[in-house]
Amino acid sequence: MTDSITLRRPDDWHLHLRDGAMLTAVTPHSASFGRAIIMPNLIPPVVTGDQAAAYRDRILAALPEGAALQPQMTLYLTDTTDPADVVAAHRDGIIRAVKLYPAGATTNSASGVTDFDRVRPVLEAMAEAGIPLCVHGEVTDPTVDIFDREAVFIDRVLDPIRSNTPGLRVVMEHITTSDGVDYARSGGDDLGATITTHHLVINRNDILAGGIRPHNYCLPVAKRETHRLALREAATSVEGRFFLGTDSAPHPDRAKLQPCGCAGCFTAPNTMSILAHVFEEDAALDRLEAFASLNGAAFYGLPSNEDRIRLTRRDVPADYPATIAVGDETVTVFDPGFPLYWHLEDA
Ligand SMILES: NC(=O)N[C@@H](CC(=O)O)C(=O)O
Ligand SMILES: [Zn+2]
Ligand SMILES: [Zn+2]
């Protein structure tokens, strides 16, 4: 049995680091990734190049000495985003991508896009400048069942945007369905898709069967088992269009354990151990590097990281904390439901 693997340093192409005390507490847990696309859904959101530059400085200040992480900033697209500011922030190396949240689709998305026609000039400028659009792909129409919102978004919103904006590079963020996998496969080199760690592990039973488990509640919500298996097949396929975006999304337990709890799984601390377990289970350990370290960089037109990390399979499970402290609050670390024998060596 393989008991040690090395890979090029992985990147996380979808990460929430938050701000303030939460930023200070969670950022070190992502320090051994190479690059990470930083989500802009702060309160208030990161909407201008100046705000993105200031946020990047706060992230860098929260990183431990010697950390590998290089934050890749994004702007939060709103109905009033100025195309010139987006293009200038990209040209000046401040941002790597722009994030589209349909208004009301997920955590802190109230300022998101309400009318896709209004952002057409921004999307056209992005296509022209080669700036990728990262998309939270769920419709917000209350008449659409929450388990169907990704598939309906693809038909009603994503496909029309892509047809109307030739050349726009799009990342389908955190896909959760076989519909997402199929649609990603229908595109060319201009279409990619991130897959989270937790959506490779849980299905909707893990949220709802045998008692409600708020720590497994995220958006898009985990779907039925056939969809999870489609994501596993895609992630382990080596196809360049699929790559890791953990969507590690910490919330204080106080905010998750509520009659109306918020969405997000905090996977930064144990992601690489979980992924090694998942890929080993699918006899695909040799494909973990493509998913976690190569495909995303290639999509973003960046070189893969030169240095490497090592994962070692030991007899004793890795000892991850169940929670981390943020001031006098706690944030629960995602529990995959199985022991993690793959240890990430000091990286
Ligand atoms: N994924 C989540 O469930 N939550 C994310 C937002 C998002 O990525 O949609 C968050 O910011 O908490
Ligand atoms: Zn999202
Ligand atoms: Zn997210």
Q: What is the CB neighbour count within 10 angstroms for residue 166?
A: 9
pLDDT, one tens digit per residue, over 5-23 is 999 999 999 999 999 999 9
Alpha carbon distance 316, 115 (integer Å)? 53
Mean pLDDT of all residues in the chain? 97
What is this structure's pTM? 0.98
Asked if 194 and 243 count as a contact pair (C-beta separation under 8 A), the reply is: yes
Alpha carbon distance 172, 331 (integer Å)? 27
Q: Decide: 263 in ligand 1 pocket, CB within 6 A.
A: yes
Q: Output 190-194 pairs: Cβ under 8 A, ≥24 positions apart.
A: 191/162, 191/241, 192/132, 192/240, 192/241, 192/242, 192/243, 192/295, 192/296, 192/299, 193/234, 193/241, 193/242, 193/243, 194/13, 194/14, 194/242, 194/243, 194/244, 194/245, 194/247, 194/296
- The protein residues having their C-beta less than 5 angstroms from ligand 2 (an ion) are 106, 136
DSSP per-residue codes, 98-149: EEE-BTTSSTT-TTSBS-TTTTHHHHHHHHHHT--EEE------TTS-GGGH
Q: Cβ neighbours of residue 203 under 8 Å, at least 6 residues apart?
A: 222, 223, 224, 225, 227, 228
In this prediction, residue 237 carries a pLDDT of 97
In this prediction, residue 20 carries a pLDDT of 98
Closest ligand to 251 CA?
A: 1
pLDDT above 90 (res 110):
no
pLDDT, one tens digit per residue, over 174-191 is 999 999 999 999 999 999
In this prediction, residue 122 carries a pLDDT of 97
In this prediction, residue 231 carries a pLDDT of 99
Q: Cβ neighbours of residue 8 under 8 Å, at least 6 residues apart?
A: 289, 293, 294, 304, 305, 306, 307, 308, 309
Q: How far is CA 58 from CA 33, 61, 97, in A?
A: 18, 5, 19
Q: Cβ neighbours of residue 279 under 8 Å, at least 6 residues apart?
A: 235, 236, 285, 287, 288, 291
Q: What is the CB neighbour count within 10 angstroms for residue 121?
A: 13
| Annotated catalytic residue within 247, 282, 286, 307 | 247
pLDDT, one tens digit per residue, over 35-77 is 999 999 999 999 999 999 999 999 999 999 999 999 999 999 9
DSSP 3-state assignment of 69?
Answer: coil
Nearest to 333 by CA among 18, 26, 21: 26
In this prediction, residue 115 carries a pLDDT of 87
For residue 248, the enclosing domain spans 4-344
In this prediction, residue 333 carries a pLDDT of 98
Q: Decide: 236 in ligand 1 pocket, CB within 6 A.
A: no
Alpha carbon distance 302, 20 (integer Å)? 30
Q: Decide: 26 in ligand 1 pocket, CB within 6 A.
A: no
Our mutation pick for probing the ligand 1 site, out of 219, 251, 253, 262, counting the most ligand atoms within 8 A of Cβ, is 219
Within 13 Å and on the Cβ side, how many CA atoms surround 210? Answer: 3
Question: What would you measure as the largest C-alpha separation in the chain, in angstroms?
Answer: 56
In this prediction, residue 107 carries a pLDDT of 84
pLDDT, one tens digit per residue, over 88-98 is 999 999 999 99
CATH of the domain at 29: 3.20.20.140
In this prediction, residue 251 carries a pLDDT of 98
Q: How confident is the model at residue 1 (pLDDT cuts 50, 70, 90)?
A: low
Our mutation pick for probing the ligand 1 site, out of 13, 14, 16, 265, counting the most ligand atoms within 8 A of Cβ, is 16
pLDDT above 80 (res 2):
no
pLDDT, one tens digit per residue, over 247-294 is 999 999 999 999 999 999 999 999 999 999 999 999 999 999 999 999
**Is 90 annotated in some ligand binding site?**
no
Q: How confident is the model at residue 106 (pLDDT cuts 50, 70, 90)?
A: confident
Nearest to 36 by CA among 305, 328, 312: 305
**Is 219 annotated in some ligand binding site?**
yes
Whether 85 is catalytic is no
* Strand order from edge to edge, sheet including 342-344: 4-8, 308-313, 342-344
In this prediction, residue 116 carries a pLDDT of 86
DSSP 3-state assignment of 225?
Answer: helix
Q: Decide: 255 in ligand 1 pocket, CB within 6 A.
A: no
Q: How confident is the model at residue 347 (pLDDT cuts 50, 70, 90)?
A: low
Domain count, the chain: 1
pLDDT above 80 (res 161):
yes
DSSP 3-state assignment of 280?
Answer: helix
In this prediction, residue 168 carries a pLDDT of 98
ipTM of the predicted structure? 0.99
CA 5 to ligand 2 centroid distance, Å: 31
In this prediction, residue 108 carries a pLDDT of 87
Asked if 98 and 122 count as a contact pair (C-beta separation under 8 A), the reply is: yes
Our mutation pick for probing the ligand 1 site, out of 140, 247, 251, 332, counting the most ligand atoms within 8 A of Cβ, is 247
Alpha carbon distance 277, 200 (integer Å)? 11
